[in-house]
Each structure stands twice: as structure tokens, then as C-alpha cells.
Structure 1
Amino acid sequence: MNAINAWMEKYFVPIAGKIGAQKHLVALRDAFIGTLPATMAGSIAVMINAIIRDLPPQFFKGYDGTTIPVIKQIIAVNGFMWNGTLAVVGLVFAFSWGYNLAKAYNVNQLAGGIVALATLIQGVGFSATTTPVSVKLTAKAADAINKAASGISYADGKLSTNVWGFIKLGYLDANAYFTIMIMGAITVILYSKLTLANITIKLPDSVPPAVSSAFTAIIPAAISLYTSAIIYYIFSLLSPKTPVLITWIQTTIADPFMSATQGIGWVILITLLVSVFWFFGLHGSNVLAPVLEGVWGQGQLKNINVFQHGYNGKHGADAVVAAIKAGHGDAYYWVRGSFDSFAWFGGSGGTIVLLIMILLLSKRDDYRTVAKLGIGPSVFNINEPVMFGMPIVLNPVFVIPFIIAPVASVIIGYIATVSGLVNPVSQSIPWVVPPFLYSFLATGADWRAPIVTLVSFAASIVIWTPFVIAANNTKDAD
């Protein structure tokens, strides 16, 4: 074990440390974190609607919350909350990505956010045109359609659509993530490089700082945005059948990649890596946040939107399941919150299980003292006191259960989810919500979810227990 630790410290930890400190990845991680005010606010609205609109019909036949006074108003207000948050979370992420990327280069952060936001809007397309469809309409109906000035017209027995000033909502939600990560990086990095090269408008020192900063950003921002505009234009010429870049990226890159990462192998791999990073003192979920949030986080946002908006006439969890089975990339079985629901209870590694078993079985006063101090925070998924106080970091006795227990838990949660024993996670819940309650709320109030969590919990107990007992004999060696 000492030889393995020495090898890992010499070769693995330095590389992992560099990855964790790489400024572009740090900016991406912080960009996801920056969207939390909007995503959490929208998620709370969707969760409330799940409780008062989608859950009661499972127990009360004929229940319709949209017809009940007060309840229907709350549902409507939550709909507006969703409109301004999760429905346009791509816009929120675009600004956050540009802001944090500019911050990494130590240039005007506000301008960086604006450049990234403008980059996204440039490429979403403002028109909706369809091939004329033959249909028979009465003269009165045809006249009403043509007078509506909606962009829909009827002539010569054919109905056609040619709407300008229309932005498809699907371009502004989580579908925008992959596109803006690529295009936003191009424009904001170019903006930052030009700014650092002093290719700017210089004003006298007497000009107020706010005015000076705005003028300084004009030339770099204009060049950067022209660059993205040219890219979009060239792409539209090369791909006339799919002229909108965001659609092409989503269908040819994002959806296949998202589908691939739904495999149990990817889920186990990311779980292993989080634990390994933590073992060497690196915050595993933070280091891997670009992957966790960029892949499974995007899937979770899609699930939330389907839960709220419905799918093919179905609503709530039924809509999410239907969207997954349709296979069009509108929803996913395993998402970011699935890890927290079924494996990372008490924090990464399921360390609350360790604390419980120490309090029950350990004879070591030092471990019991740390466990008593750490059990409170661990209930709210804060496990730093355990990681560095026990410690688990670089502790050869606990490395095996710390890595294996969460893997066993995700396998249990994964099998239960994909087999339909529990609803997929469809809500974004604050990470400090205690275990069991977390999985219940995250799955849209599915009563079976805490049972699955309990099974994972029991499996972790089986794995942790022999190592806690073995640790009783290691005090002298320590």
C-alpha cells in the first residue's frame, strides 16, 4: 500500500492537481456554479408543482390542481418562474461562462459575459420556415389565417410557415450548453487575448472608469463577435439542410455523447475518479465538475424541463419516462442528482455510513471524537471534517471502502432506475438536503426512492463495517 501511495503521489497527484487548477476548467466549473441562483429557483418551482400538481393524482382519483383555487394560482406562478429560469438556462449559462472565462484572463468580466451571451444569440436563428403542406380549408378559415399576420399563410390549397422574429425555446435551454461551451470559448478567449494585447480604444484618465472600461471592450468584442458571425455564416453555407449550428452540434455531438455516458461503465468510472481524487486530498466533485455538470447536469436540466412541460400528452415523472423511451435525447435515466440520491449520501464516498459504524463499533477514542463532531455536518452532506479530520485522505485503512462503497451504491441506484423500480431524478435539490429526503424530492416525490437509497445505504454498511473493526487495531501503528 505504501508503494502504491508513493507512486500515486509522484505521478498521479501532480497531474490531477494541474487539471484541477487549469484556468479554463476552473472557469467552466465556476460557470456552472454561477447558474445556481437561476437553476435552483426554477427547480424549487418545479418541485412545488410536482407536489401540488403531479403527485396527488397518484393517490386521489380525479384530482386536478389546475382547477382548485389558490393551488391553480401557485401552479401558474411557478410556471412563470420556470419561464425565466430553466426554460432559458442556456442564456444564463452563456453569460456565466463568458464572465468566468474573462475572469480567468483577468480582463473585463462583464464584457466577457456579454460577448458570450451575444455569441449564443447570434447562432440560434430567428425564423421558422416549413415546407408547404397540402390541406383543405374553408374560405373563412383560410381568410382568418392570412389576416392573422402570424407568419402562417394559406394559398393554392397549401399551408406554409415563414415566421421571422421567432426564437425556438429549445435553443435557449440546456440544449445550448455544448454550443456555447465551444463558441463562447472561441469568442471570449479571442476577446481576452485582444484586450491583453492592448488592441483597444484608449481614453484619457479623466474619463470615468465605467465609461473607459466599456470603450476599451469595443474593438476586442466587435472582432470576436464578427469571428463567431462568420463561423455561423460559413456553417450555414456548408450545411444548408441544418443551417443552425446549435442543432447540428446537438444531434451529431451532444446527443450521441450524452447517450454514451448513460452506460453503467461511465457512471462507475466517474464515481471511482471522484473517490480517488478525494483520497489524495483533491475535491473530487469539484475537479470533475466540468464533466459532472456538463454531461449529467445537462441531462438533469432536460429531465426537469420535461417534467414541467410534459411530453406527448403525459406529465410529471410519466413524461420523463416517456421521453427517455422515445430515445430522442429529451430526457435521461441517470443524471447529476442520481449520484447524490443513491451513492453520495453524507458527501462523497457515503461517509455518513462510516461515522455511524464508528459510533457503533469503533473502540478508538480519536475516531469516535471525530465522528461525534462530524455526524451533524454529514447529515447535510458536508464531509470535509471527516475527510481531513479522521482523516480519510491518504488513510490506507479506509481507501478500499471509500472507493468501493459508492461504486456498489451507484450500481444499485442505476439498476433500480433503468429497470423502472424508481422514477428517474427529475428535480434539482439543494445539495445540503439530508439523505433519503433528497432522493424522495429529487425523483418528484417517488416514495420508492428512499427505499432504493436505504438498500444502497445497507450495502455501504456491509462494505465499511469490516474496515472500521480492523481500524481498532491500527492505533499503535499510526
Structure 2
Amino acid sequence: MNALTAWLEKYILPIATKMGSQKHLVALRDAFIGTMPATMAGSIAVMINAIIRDLPAQFIEGYDGASIPVIREIIAVNGFVWNGTIAIAGLVFAFSWGYNLAKAYNVNNLAGGIVSLAALIQGISFGPSETADLGMKVPANIATAITDSGIGATVTPGGELSVGLWGWLNLNHLNGNAFFTAMIIGAVSVIIFAKLMQKNITIKLPESVPPAVSNAFAAIIPATAALYIIAIFNFAFGEMTGMLFIDWVQETIAKPLMGFSQGLGAVLVIQLAIQIFWFFGIHGTNVMAPVLEGIFGQAQLINIDVFQKGYDGLTGTKAVLAAIEDGKAYMWVRGSFDAYSMFGGSGGTITLILAILIFSKRADYLTMGKLALGPGIFNINEPIMFGLPIVLNAIMFIPFIVAPVVATAIGYLATSWGLVAPVSQAVTWVVPPVLLSFLATGADWRAPLVTIVCMLVTFAIWAPFVIAANKMDPSLEENN
């Protein structure tokens, strides 16, 4: 065990430390965290609608919440909240990403957020443009009426329809689908902006000018240069490929990555990496945030979106399941880790605390177990992580690595086999275990049962090591 720990310290710890302090990764992590006020508000709206609109329909035949006074109005209000949050999550992230990246470069934060947001917006679709043969002769007066209507469509008497609408922003370019493009375009534009700012290629005003005005003017040249460079790229890319860069990224980068993330092996590797980082005292979920939030988080936003809007005439969980079958939604998302392996915090440490309270004879372990139980119920495990400690504690290494990986495998298989609904809601991580999985799956009563199974299995993994730790207590040895 000591040899393994020494090997990990020599080869893994330096890598983990560098990743945890790399400014671009830190900025990306903080960008995802920065979107939480909007994404959680939207998730709460969708969750409320799931409870009052979708859940009763599973048990009451003919139930239609949209036709019941008060409930109908609540559903409508939640729809407005969704419009301004989950529906435009990509825009929210783009600003947060630019803001935090500019902060990492010690330049104007607000201008960085604006540059990133503007760079994303300039490359999205502003309306469809298609030409098709209707296969029929259109009366001249009808063709003229359509052509002269000003709606952006023309029809010839021969039946050829041309649609060239403009000013209609494509929501599929503004929601979670925009994350990968926002990461790429936002990084390039803000780094260009930051480099120019650092080289003082700016408009300089007298010191007597208020700072707010001076900062705004200083950002004009760097921001203009960055946005023109992105605009030239968007134009050239469109001319060469005939498609928007955001569509190309979604088809060639985002979908393959997210598809790969749905394999059991990939999910377990991510969980394993989180645990290894944590063992050395490095916040594993933060280090892995670019993957957890950038890939699995985007998948979760798509599930929430499908749950709210519906799919193929279906609503709620049924819509999500149908979309998964068609590759339009995802079986395993960010919240799936919280539901089935992170009860009590990373490593599923609430079951360690219970094992300590039941089996430990060590005064230090029992004291820490009692202190950590309250926070652990709300998935806060720093007290047990650093107080026991688990960090760099050789006796705890194996269960800390194995237990959450096994729990993740159980949750994954239960979801993929259809024993439990996929996670389709974003639930704040401090919600106690069991209740969290119930809410996260759109109120599927089977989800808490799967969580309990995961907890029992991890408890069985932790218990032998807690008992073994008794033999390592000098005070117990003296009493014997």
C-alpha cells in the first residue's frame, strides 16, 4: 500500500497539481460555476412543472395540468423562467467564459465577457434560407400575395418556393448546444483581446476621465480587432464548407465526444480520475469540471430542454427516453454522478461515516464521524475528507477509489437497462441523497431505490477498512 501511494505521489500528484492550477482550466471551471444562478433557476422551473404537470399524469388518467386554474398559470410562469435560462444557456455560458478568461489574464473582465458573447452571436443562424419546388401550380394572385407580404418568402406561379427569413435566432444555437463552440470561439476572441490589452494597444484618455469611461474606451481597439478576426474566420469557413462553424463543431466534435461519454468505460474513467485527484487533496470535481460540465453538463441541459419542450409528441420522461433512442438526448449526464455515486460528497462518503459510527472503536474516528454526519447529509464532505483524513490515508485509498466506481457502475447499468429514468433535472448538489435522485429523474420513485442499493454496496466496501483501521490505533493496542 505504501509503495502504491509513493508511486501515485511521484507520477500522478504533479500532473494533478498542474491541472488544478492551469489558468485556462481554472477559468473554464469558474465559467461553469458562474452560470449556476441561471441554470439552477431554470432547472427549478422545469422541476416544478415536472411535479405539477408530468408526475400526476403517471398516476391519474386524463390529468392535464395545463387546463387547471392556478396550476396552468404556474406552468406558464415557469415557461418564462425557462425561456430566459435553460433555453439560452449557451449565451449565459459564453459571457461567463469570457469574463473569467479575461480575469485570468488580468484585463477588463466585463469587456472580456462581452467579446466572448458577441463572438458567439455573430456566427449563429439568423433565419432559414431554403428553396424548394412545391410540385404544383400556384395561382398568380396567391404567389403575388406571398411574395409581396414581406415575410421573407417568394413563390413563383410555377410553384418554386424560396424562403429567406432573417432575424429569427435559432434556439438550438443558443442553448446547451452552443457550449463547445463558445469554448473555442470565446477562447480565441478573448485571448486576442487580452493580448492586445496587455500590449497597451488601446485608446488612452486623460487621468481626469472617470475609470468606467476610460476602461470602456481602452477596450474598444482590442475588442474590435478580436471580433473582426472571428468574423473573417466565420466568413471564410462558411465560404469553404457551406455551413456555419457552430453546426460543424456540433456534428464533428460535440456529438462524437458526447457519444463517447455515454460508454460505461468512459464514465468509470471519469469517476476514477475524480477520486485519484481527491486522494491527494486536490478538488477532483473542480479539476474534472471541463469534462463534467463541458460534456456531461451539456448533455444534462439537453435532457432538461427535451423534458420541458417535449419530443416526437411526447412529454416529460417519455420524451427524454424517445430522444435518447434517436440520439437526441443522453442516458448519463452530470447529475447522474450526484444521484448514484456522490451521496455525502465525492466518494460516497456518507456511507463511510455510517460505517465509522457503527464499527469504529477509535475515539478520533468516532469524533470525526459525529462531526461530519450533519454536513455529509447535505453532501459536504470536506470535514471527513481532511479531518479523518481520507487524503493521503493509505488504509482508505482502496475503498475511496473502489466504492464510488462500483456505485457509478450500478447507477449506469440501472439507467441503461431502463430500471430507472435518466436524469432530466438539475438539482442543487446540497439536496440530501435519495431525495436528490428522486427529483433529478423527474420524480421517478425507482431512483431512490437504486441510490439506496448503491449506498448499501459502498457501505459494505467501506466497513472492512474501518474495522481494519481499529487495529492501527495505538490507544486500542495499549488497552489490549
1:404 is matched with 402
Per mean C-alpha deviation after superposition, the further-off stretch among 135-144 and 436-445 is: 135-144
Per mean C-alpha deviation after superposition, the further-off stretch among 280-289 and 10-19 is: 10-19
1:151 is matched with 152
**Is 1:466 the equivalent of 2:464?**
yes
1:275–1:348 contact (8 Å) kept in structure 2: yes
Deviations 1:125-159 (A, max 9, x none): 32311221315587587676556532234332233
Structural mapping, 1:36-435, within 5 Å = 36-136=36-136, 139=139, 145-146=146-147, 148-155=149-156, 156-240=158-242, 242=243, 244-327=244-327, 330-435=328-433
Deviations 1:83-132 (A, max 9, x none): 00000010000000000000000000000000000000110032311221
Distance 2:36 2:253 in 1: 25
Deviations 1:158-198 (A, max 9, x none): 33321011211100001111001011100100100000001
Distance 2:355 2:393 in 1: 17
TM-score, normalization: structure 2?
0.96
Distance 1:130 1:250 in 2: 21
Structure 2 unaligned regions, length at least 5: none
Per mean C-alpha deviation after superposition, the further-off stretch among 82-91 and 459-468 is: 459-468
Q: Please tell me the residue identity of whatever aligns with 2:152.
A: G
Q: Secondary structure at the match of 2:209?
A: coil
2:275–2:400 contact (8 Å) kept in structure 1: yes
Q: Secondary structure at the match of 2:468?
A: helix
Distance 2:400 2:149 in 1: 64
Change (3 A) 1:144 1:418: farther
Please state how far the C-alpha of 1:361 moved relative to its aligned partner. 1.2
Distance 1:193 1:143 in 2: 54
Per mean C-alpha deviation after superposition, the further-off stretch among 138-147 and 354-363 is: 138-147
Q: Secondary structure at the match of 1:127?
A: coil
Change (3 A) 1:136 1:55: farther
Q: Secondary structure at the match of 2:38?
A: helix
Distance 2:143 2:222 in 1: 50
Please state how far the C-alpha of 1:7 moved relative to its aligned partner. 2.6
Structure 1 unaligned regions, length at least 5: none
Q: Secondary structure at the match of 1:164?
A: coil
Q: Secondary structure at the match of 1:160?
A: strand
Deviations 1:285-335 (A, max 9, x none): 0111111100100000000000001111111111111111012xx210000
Structural mapping, 1:429-444, within 5 Å = 429-444=427-442
Q: Please tell me the residue identity of whatever aligns with 1:33.
A: I
Distance 1:366 1:38 in 2: 42
1:135–1:159 contact (8 Å) kept in structure 2: no
Please state how far the C-alpha of 1:468 moved relative to its aligned partner. 1.1
Distance 2:320 2:85 in 1: 19
Per mean C-alpha deviation after superposition, the further-off stretch among 126-135 and 245-254 is: 126-135
Deviations 1:218-256 (A, max 9, x none): 11001101110011011011101x2x1100110111101
Distance 1:152 1:326 in 2: 32
Please state how far the C-alpha of 1:476 moved relative to its aligned partner. 2.1
Q: Please tell me the residue identity of whatever aligns with 2:362.
A: R
2:131–2:160 contact (8 Å) kept in structure 1: no
Q: Please tell me the residue identity of whatever aligns with 2:325.
A: K
**Number of residue pairs the alignment of both structures matches:** 474
TM-score, normalization: structure 1?
0.97
RMSD of aligned alpha carbons: 1.5
Q: Secondary structure at the match of 2:168?
A: coil
Q: Please tell me the residue identity of whatever aligns with 2:306.
A: V
